Amino acid sequence: MKGLNKFIQANKQCPFLYNHFKIDVSRNQIASDFLKKFVNLCPHLKNANKMNEREASGQTVSACASTNTTTHVAAAASFFSKCPINHSKLLGKKEKCTGCPHNACLHSNEAPLLNEITEKTLQESSQKCPFVGLLNIDNSTETAASKLLKNQEEYEQSVKKNFIMKNKSIQLDNQETSEKELNEYDQQFANAIKGLKTEGRYRVFNHIKKIAGRFPKALYTDSATNETKEITVWCSNDYLGMGQHPTVRQAMIDAVKETGVGAGGTRNIGGSSIYHTQLESELADLHFKEKAIVMSSGFVANQGAINALTKVLKDVIYLSDEKNHASIIEGIRNSKADKVVWKHNDMEDLENKLKQLPLERNKIIIFESVYSMSGTISPIGEVCKLAKKYNALTFIDEVHAIGLYGKRGGGVAEMMGLMDQIDIFSGTLGKAYGCVGGYIAGNSLLIDCIRSFAQNFIFTTSIPPCIAQAAKTSIAYVKEHNELRERLHFIARLIKKRCNDKNIPILPNESHIIPVFIGDAKKAKMASDLLMQKYDIYVQPINYPTVPKGQELLRISPTPNHNEDMVEKLVLALEGVFEELQLRENFGQELSHNFTEPLSLAEKLIITA
């Protein structure tokens, strides 16, 4: 009965109310012994033993039970809160029924507790109990119920099947009805969602439960079967597993004990603490800059900085790489500043764009060091030379490089020895450092302007002090442990080599990011689903608008916590998925690439920088 109880609880339903929620349980499947076994499993009844508590339980069930009409909810509440009038009359009672043990517990403080009800009591009252009586149960059902309990697996599957099929039918019926009754606004919402689903771009979230101390392992519960299994996560942006590191976890716990959970306000009204200033000092040191400022996310940091810079720098124009992150694209758009888009990592195109602008005009070249989807690395040195030549500021987003490149984890700019040539750094606390938050680093005057003019910073509650303390601890730890970076890039190189051996198409790059090319949105989703269902591997599909249409992919993110056995299982699973879905028909041999030399070069730079 354990499996069935789990199924019942997962769907927030009481076993006594099956028929009120369109689950087809035939009458010969319920009898007194069946009720006896379930009476202490019902989460809404088992803890209540007084009249007012029973009635409250009934209301709770009514509110949370899965149903489709208010009529069914009302029926459920009615059966929980009182005995039917005709049942009371049969017993000679006008207001309450003490003959039925279920209703006795609902209506009398002196009635026996549910866990004290004996099988004999239930058998004697089975004809009086409304839950049984309304189903016209007779004594002959006891044998059927006993047989049922002996074959519980078959019964569980029957209930699950009926539940799923009936709900699908109800959902379809409701969908058809809803589409007819939608107002003009809801119709537009419905059309937008329908379009995403038709194109295979509708996002479905996989809900996982990480296992503390066992990263990258996690638990995943299939929403269709309600079965839970252990999986290996290959798409986390906790690149170094620091979100699970005992030192970081303990730092956060200690801070919570000292100062509580929330910040209690914005940075300028009660929400600034010593934890925030210490974190900002740690970040400034990481980039060899004078100051840093922390915001609620990397996305917010980019938007806030762009918003502030546009207010301060008169007639500023942004020169933006065409593959920049959405936070940069939207930040520039929202600022209403002028912009020029240059071809990805194309220095000739960037210089041509710069030549067309007056030398004295305020200009900011904004780009990323490691591009999140393609994994390509920008030619930072060449960008800096052009910026100096044409009187422009450099704004680099190192979100996917912080902690992972350079001797102290300062990013690709540190790896290349170019930190002093970058004017503005943006980064995150939510990837290599395993926490949450974003930041900007630069000279004192620049940071003071962002602090004063960035609305995203001024008008939002600051990150919790405990998060700030955990992030500071993580940054300090990663600075001193270069072996984490070495291990990460070793695993990345190994995956790329094994994929190349198996002719699995990955887009060439010199970073830790591994984009497995699919080229079709629906097939990318199918590949992701198959990896999860058949191989217990979680890799998220990446579709438009994150990548251009026709360039859909599976994005693999290795970590130092993955081992060689996990790598082999991943590669063999990818090979199986490509064969089963016939995905190799989507690409040509030009995508095959030997990654050994570029990765060795990148790894050498990382270790020796």
Burial class (CB in 10 A: 0-12, 13-18, 19+), 214: exposed
CA–CA distance, 283 with 238 (Å, rounded to integer): 18
In three state form, how does the secondary structure of 264-302 look? CCECCEECCCHHHHHHHHHHHHHCCCCEEEEECCHHHHH
First to last CA, the chain: 61
Given strand 208-210, what is the order of strands in its sheet?
208-210, 217-221, 228-233, 537-538
**Tokens 């050994």 found at:** 596
Whole-angstrom distance, CA of residue 317 vs CA of residue 97: 80
Which tokens go with 575?
Answer: 């090979």
DSSP 31: -
Coil, helix or strand at residue 256: helix
**Is 415 in contact with 605 (CB distance < 8 Å)?**
yes
Residue 431 annotated among the catalytic residues of the structure: yes
CA distance 452 to 308: 8
Catalytic choice (96, 323, 431, 525)? 431
Closest CA to 478 of 416, 414, 410, 420: 410
62-66 own/partner pairs: CB under 8 Å, 24+ apart:
64/12, 65/12, 65/13, 65/14, 65/17, 65/21, 66/11, 66/12, 66/13, 66/21
Which two three-digit tokens encode residue 386? 């052009």
β-pairing, 317-321 vs 363-368, is parallel
Q: What is the token pair recorded at 423?
A: 């004017």
Please name the residue that has the structure tokens 């393609």.
374
Are 171 and 33 contacting, i.e. CB atoms less than 8 angstroms apart? Answer: no
Contacts of 564 (CB under 8 A, 6+ apart): 494
Cβ atoms of 414 and 446 within 8 Å: the answer is no
β-pair type (553-556, 541-542): antiparallel
Helix H, strand E, coil C: the string for 582-605 is: CHHHHCCHHHCCCCHHHHHHHHHH
Cα separation, 297 vs 407, in Å, equals 25
Q: How many CB atoms lie within 10 A of CB 52?
A: 9
State whether residue 396 is helix, strand or coil.
strand
Question: Please, where are the H alpha helices in 200-340?
Answer: 246-259, 274-286, 298-312, 326-335
Catalytic residues: 431
